[in-house]
C-alpha cells in the first residue's frame, strides 16, 4: 500500500514539474522510519495530524504504527490544498477506514498556516514545503522559511504530552535567521530523537539542495537524552547505530546562543569536548574576518580581462583558490581576473591574508577551504576579493605571513573540518561563525605555520602540537 501511495505522489510531481514550494514527497522507507519514532505506549485513543499531507503517506504510516502499538482508536486529520493530491488522499484514507473500523479521518482543504479551531493533537507528523518566506509576513510565525513556519504552528497545536516529527532541512540548527525559532523550540519542547542523512542524494525522488534531517520533539518529556542515528541516504535505513547523547549537548547555548549541535559518533563527542576546552577566539588576538567586498553583478563596469597592470588590480574569485596558494591569473578562466583601480570601495590593500571559501557542498572533501596569501604574491598595491570569499586579516595591523599560514593550516585540518560539520547545519561558512570558533593557544597556531607538508594536510602536525601541550599540562 505504501508503495502505491508513493507511486501516486511521484506521478503528481512528474506531471506538475518542480513544485513551487519545493515540496518533496516522502518515500516509503523514510515514512516508516518517521512513524517508528513515535512512542504510542500507554495510549488508547489518539488524534494525529498530518500537516501538508499530500497523498497521505505519513499520516497513513503513523496510523498503522499506532494500531501496531495497540492503540484502539485513531482519528487522523490531514491538511492539504493541492487538488490532485486531495483526490488521492481521500481514496487512500477511505481504504484505511475500510481496513479498520476504529480509524476515522478528516481532511481540511485549507492553508495550514491559517488553521484555527482544530483542537490539540497527541501526534503531529509532516514533510512540509521548503521555501523562503519573509519574516515580515506574520502568517504562521516569524521565521524565514515555510518549513519552520509549519513547525511553529504545529508547536501551538501539540497537546500536553504530545510528540511531533518533521523531516526538514538542517539549516535552522544555527545562524541568526532562525534564532527566534530555535528559542521557541528550546522553550516549549525537548528534542528526543534525530536522524541525519549524510548525503543529499537518494533521499527524495528529486535532488535536494540542503542537508536533510528528521527530528522528534516532545512536550513535557522527562528524558534528558537524545537518540541520534544517521545514514547515507534512504537506502541504508535498516542498519542504524543509535547513539544516546545528553540533550545539553544537542540543545546547546542559552539566552544569547540557541543552537543545535549534532554529533553522530563517540569521536564527534570527543571533538566537541576538545573544542569546549579552548577558551580563545580569533578576536582575542585582533584577528578579524571580512567578506569579499566585490559583488559581481554590482561591479560589472569595474571588472575586465584587461592586462593593463597600470590601471587594474588582480581580481580573486573562488576558482583561484587552492589549499596551497592563489592560482592567479588562471588559464581559461571564465571570470574577469582584473578590477579597475578606481573601484576604491571594492578593493583592499595587497597584504598578508587568509582567503576562505564561503560556500561548499556537503559532498566536498573539505567544508573549510582556505589558503594563505602573501603580500606581493599578486602584483600591485591593491586586490579585489569576490563576495563568495571571506578573508582573514589583522584589522589595522597586518598579520605576519607565518601566522596566516598557521591559521590556514588550522582551519584546513580534519579536526576543524569535522567540528564545523557537527555544529554547522549549512554549507555556507559565515564570517561570524569563524570569528567565534574556539581556537587553541595562539602560539600553537604560530608554530603550525612553520611546518611544511607535501600534500598540504597539516592535521597530523596539529595533533602532535596539541598532544605536546596536553603532556606538559
- In terms of C-beta density within 10 A (0-12 exposed, 13-18 middle, 19 or more buried), how is residue 4 classed? middle
Query: What 3 state SS string does 164-211 have?
Result: EEEEEEHHHHCCHHHHHHHHHHHHHCEEEEEEEECCCCCCCCCCCCCC
Give this prediction's pTM. Answer: 0.87
Residue 161: all three cell numbers together: 504530552
DSSP string, 336-391: --EEETT-TTTEEE---EEEEESB--TTSS-SS-EEEE-TTSSSSSEEEEBTTEEE
Pair 75, 105: CB distance under 8 Å: yes
In this prediction, residue 5 has a pLDDT band, given cuts at 50, 70 and 90, of: low
In this prediction, residue 34 has a pLDDT band, given cuts at 50, 70 and 90, of: very high
- In terms of C-beta density within 10 A (0-12 exposed, 13-18 middle, 19 or more buried), how is residue 394 classed? middle
What are the structural domain ranges in the chain?
A: 2-264, 282-472
Angle at CA of residue 396, ends 404 and 275, nearest 5°: 45
Question: CA 93 to CA 385: how far, in whole Å?
Answer: 57
Q: Which residues in 359-369 are b (16+ Cβ under 10 Å) and which e?
A: ebebeeebbbb
Pair 158, 120: CB distance under 8 Å: yes
Q: Answer yes or no: is pLDDT of 287 > 90.
A: yes
202 conformational bin, left if phi > 0, alpha if psi -120 to 50, beta if neither: left
- The reply to whether 2-264 and 282-472 are identical in fold is no
First-last CA distance in the chain:
62
Question: CA 184 to CA 176: how far, in whole Å?
Answer: 14
Specify which residues 94 forms β-bridges with: none
Pair 439, 468: CB distance under 8 Å: no
Minimum mean pLDDT among 29-43, 94-108, 330-344, 348-362: which range? 348-362
Of 211, 46, 210, the closest CA to residue 125 belongs to 46
Pair 192, 217: CB distance under 8 Å: yes
Q: What pLDDT shows up at residue 32?
A: 92
Q: Answer yes or no: is pLDDT of 17 > 50.
A: no
Of 441, 422, 445, 444, the closest CA to residue 433 belongs to 422
Q: What pLDDT shows up at residue 168?
A: 94
Which fold does the domain 2-264 belong to in CATH?
Answer: Rossmann fold (3.40.50)
Which fold does the domain 282-472 belong to in CATH?
Answer: Adenine-n6-DNA-methyltransferase TaqI; Chain A, domain 2 (3.90.220)
Q: Answer yes or no: is pLDDT of 147 > 90.
A: yes
Minimum mean pLDDT among 9-18, 215-224, 250-259, 389-398: which range? 9-18
Of 165, 188, 145, the closest CA to residue 49 belongs to 165
Question: CA 446 to CA 406: how far, in whole Å?
Answer: 5
DSSP string, 101-163: TTEEEEEE-S-GGG--S---EEEEEE-----B--TT--TT-SSSBHHHHHHHHHHHHEEEEEE
Amino acid at each position: 500500500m505504501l508503495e502505491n501511495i508513493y507511486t501516486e505522489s511521484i506521478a503528481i510531481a512528474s506531471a506538475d514539474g518542480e513544485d513551487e514550494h519545493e515540496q518533496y514527497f516522502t518515500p516509503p522507507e523514510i515514512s516508516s522510519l518517521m512513524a517508528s519514532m513515535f512512542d504510542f505506549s500507554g495510549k488508547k485513543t489518539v488524534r494525529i495530524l498530518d500537516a501538508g499531507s499530500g497523498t497521505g503517506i505519513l499520516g497513513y504510516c503513523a496510523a498503522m504504527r499506532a494500531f501496531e502499538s495497540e492503540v484502539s482508536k485513531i482519528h487522523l486529520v490531514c491538511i492539504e490544498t493541492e487538488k490532485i493530491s486531495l483526490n488521492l488522499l481521500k481514496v487512500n484514507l477511505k481504504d484505511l477506514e475500510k481496513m479498520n473500523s476504529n480509524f476515522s479521518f478528516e481532511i481540511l482543504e485549507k492553508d495550514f498556516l491559517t488553521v484555527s479551531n482544530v483542537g490539540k493533537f497527541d501526534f503531529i507528523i509532516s514533510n512540509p514545503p521548503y521555501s523562503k518566506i519573509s519574516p515580515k509576513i506574520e502568517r504562521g510565525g516569524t521565521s524565514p522559511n515555510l518549513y519552520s513556519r509549519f513547525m511553529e504552528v504545529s508547536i501551538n497545536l501539540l497537546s500536553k504530552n504530545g510528540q511531533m516529527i518533521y523531516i526538514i532541512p538542517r539549516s535552522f540548527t544555527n545562524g541568526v535567521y532562525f534564532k527566534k525559532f530555535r528559542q521557541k523550540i528550546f522553550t516549549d519542547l525537548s528534542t528526543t530523537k534525530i536522524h541525519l542523512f549524510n548525503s543529499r542524494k537518494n533521499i527524495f525522488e528529486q535532488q535536494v539542495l540542503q542537508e536533510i534531517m528528521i527530528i522528534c520533539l516532545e512536550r513535557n518529556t522527562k528524558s534528558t537524552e537524545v537518540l541520534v542515528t544517521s545514514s547515507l541516504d534512504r537506502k541504508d535505513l535498516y542498519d542504524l547505530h543509535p547513539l544516546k547523547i545528553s540533550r545539553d549537548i544537542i540543545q546547546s547555548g542559552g539566552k544569547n546562543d540557541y543552537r543545535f549541535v549534532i554529533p553522530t559518533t563517540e569521536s564527534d563527542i570527543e571533538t566537541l569536548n576538545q573544542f569546549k576546552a579552548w577558551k580563545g577566539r580569533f578576536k582575542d588576538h585582533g584577528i578579524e574576518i571580512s567578506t569579499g567586498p566585490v559583488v559581481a553583478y554590482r561591479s560589472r563596469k569595474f571588472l575586465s580581462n584587461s592586462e593593463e597592470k597600470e590601471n587594474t588590480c588582480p581580481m580573486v574569485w573562488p576558482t583561484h583558490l587552492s589549499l596551497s596558494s592563489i592560482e592567479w591569473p588562471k588559464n581559461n578562466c571564465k571570470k574577469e581576473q582584473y578590477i579597475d583601480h578606481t573601484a576604491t570601495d571594492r578593493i583592499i590593500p595587497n597584504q598578508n591574508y587568509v582567503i576562505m571559501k564561503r560556500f561548499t557542498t556537503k559532498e566536498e572533501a573539505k567544508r573549510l577551504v582556505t589558503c594563505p596569501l602573501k603580500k606581493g604574491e599578486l602584483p600591485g598595491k591593491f586586490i579585489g576579493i569576490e563576495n563568495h570569499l571571506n578573508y582573514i586579516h589583522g584589522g589595522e595591523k597586518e598579520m605576519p605571513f607565518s601566522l596566516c599560514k598557521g591559521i590556514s593550516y588550522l582551519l584546513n585540518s580534519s579536526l576543524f573540518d569535522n567540528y564545523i560539520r557537527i555544529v554547522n547545519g549549512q554549507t555556507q561558512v559565515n564570517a561570524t561563525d569563524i570569528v567565534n570558533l574556539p581556537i587553541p593557544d595562539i602560539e600553537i597556531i604560530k608554530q603550525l605555520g612553520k611546518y611544511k607538508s607535501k600534500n598540504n594536510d597539516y592535521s597530523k602536525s596539529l595533533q602532535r602540537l596539541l598532544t605536546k601541550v596536553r603532556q606538559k599540562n
